[in-house]
Amino acid sequence: VVLDTLPLDGVTAKHILRFGLTAAADVRGVPTYHADHTLVCVTVGERSWQYRLSAGGEHRVLTSLASFAVLLALGADLEAALDCMPTLLMPTGRGNELVIGGVSLLDDSYNANPVSMGYALQSLASADEGRQKVAILGEMLELGPASQALHEALQADCAGLDGVITVGDGFQSWNRSQLGERYWGHVDSAADIDLTQLLEKLEPDAQILVKGSNRVFWVHGFVEQLRRKLLEGSVVGDTGETE
């Protein structure tokens, strides 16, 4: 089972199933994104199926298509598998959504790499037109000599956002003037983020992404601190919370 955009050079001569979103895929998905779910139509030859995902952008769709392709190759019960798709939840810190009043807090704080960071930012930028979109980005650790260039490349993915805060040395070389007033600041540590000041900038229906290597946010319980601050009602008024 191989992603459709990858070259087949060096791949085994055994039967290959390609999955993805392009016409080259044997298992091809066409996603339709909604505010609270994604509907995926998947086609294999002349057969088609449809399933619903509870959350996530393109990267979640591709993961589900990879799973579908493996099940197909194994001859598993596809209908039973598709019935389970809507019940799949994001593990804590891996992109799960907390809804507090009207604010959506996307907790992707467990880990980060250039690919997953790009996907998360693109997903945020394309979601729910009209809502304020804010990213709190922690540096990506252990990238070696390419670290500076890989962090700088993320600026392009922030173009469609309304506010960006960066954390850690990896973002020191950013051209902060590129985002103008949408760049809400840089801090050395997540502990230095002024949550009261942050909440003053948030709109009642804001979407907030928190993503970075786990030593930036996860080990310090930053998302929990932000969640509690939101529950104080400074922004949301209503203290209702769902996950």
Work out the percent of the chain whose per-residue pLDDT is above 70.
Answer: 90
Separation of alpha carbons 182 and 135, rounded Å: 10
Q: Are 83 and 132 in the same domain? A: no
Q: Are 235 and 135 in the same domain? A: yes
Report the pLDDT value the prediction gives residue 92, as an integer from 0 to 100: 81
Q: For the segment 191-233, what is each residue's pLDDT rounded down to a tens digit?
A: 999 999 999 999 999 999 999 998 999 888 999 999 999 998 6
Pairing of β 103-108 and β 133-138: unpaired
Q: Are 151 and 73 in the same domain? A: no
**CB under 8 Å to 31, separation ≥6 — which residues?**
21, 38, 39, 40, 41, 58, 61
- Which tokens go with 179? 């985002």
Q: Are 21 and 136 in the same domain? A: no
pLDDT at 239 > cutoff 60: no
Q: Mean pLDDT, the chain, as a whole number?
A: 88
Domain count within the chain: 2
Q: Which of 231, 222, 62, 33 is nearest to 137 (CA)?
A: 222
Work out the percent of the chain whose per-residue pLDDT is above 90.
Answer: 62
Q: What residue has token string 């769902």?
A: 242
Q: Are 177 and 227 in the same domain? A: yes
> Which residue range(s) make up the domain with 124?
96-242
- Report the DSSP beta bridge partners of residue 160: none
- Report the DSSP beta bridge partners of residue 183: 164
Q: Are 142 and 230 in the same domain? A: yes
Q: How many helices and strands, by DSSP H and E, does the chain display?
A: 6, 12
**CATH code of the domain in which 212 resides:** 3.90.190.20
HEC per residue, 91-146: CCCCCEEEEECCEEEEEECCCCCHHHHHHHHHHHHHCCCCCCEEEEEECCCCCHHH
Report the pLDDT value the prediction gives residue 38, as an integer from 0 to 100: 86
Q: Are 26 and 76 in the same domain? A: yes
Q: For the segment 174-191, what is each residue's pLDDT rounded down to a tens digit?
A: 988 889 999 999 999 999
CA dist 96 → 26, 146, 242 (Å): 30, 29, 11
User: Please, what is the Cα angle at 234 between 34 and 110, to 5 degrees?
Assistant: 55
Q: Are 78 and 116 in the same domain? A: no
End residue of a domain, out of 87, 114, 146: 87
End residue of a domain, out of 53, 87, 121: 87
Q: Are 131 and 80 in the same domain? A: no
Q: Are 65 and 115 in the same domain? A: no
Q: What is the pTM of this model?
A: 0.76
Separation of alpha carbons 6 and 242, rounded Å: 38
Q: For the segment 80-135, what is each residue's pLDDT rounded down to a tens digit?
A: 999 988 887 777 888 888 889 889 999 999 989 998 999 899 889 887 778 999 99
Report the pLDDT value the prediction gives residue 6, as an integer from 0 to 100: 65
pLDDT at 169 > cutoff 90: yes
Q: Are 107 and 9 in the same domain? A: no
Q: Are 32 and 138 in the same domain? A: no
User: Please, what is the Cα angle at 180 between 177 and 185, to 5 degrees?
Assistant: 80
pLDDT at 237 > cutoff 50: no
**CATH code of the domain in which 53 resides:** 3.40.1190.10
Pairing of β 241-242 and β 96-100: antiparallel
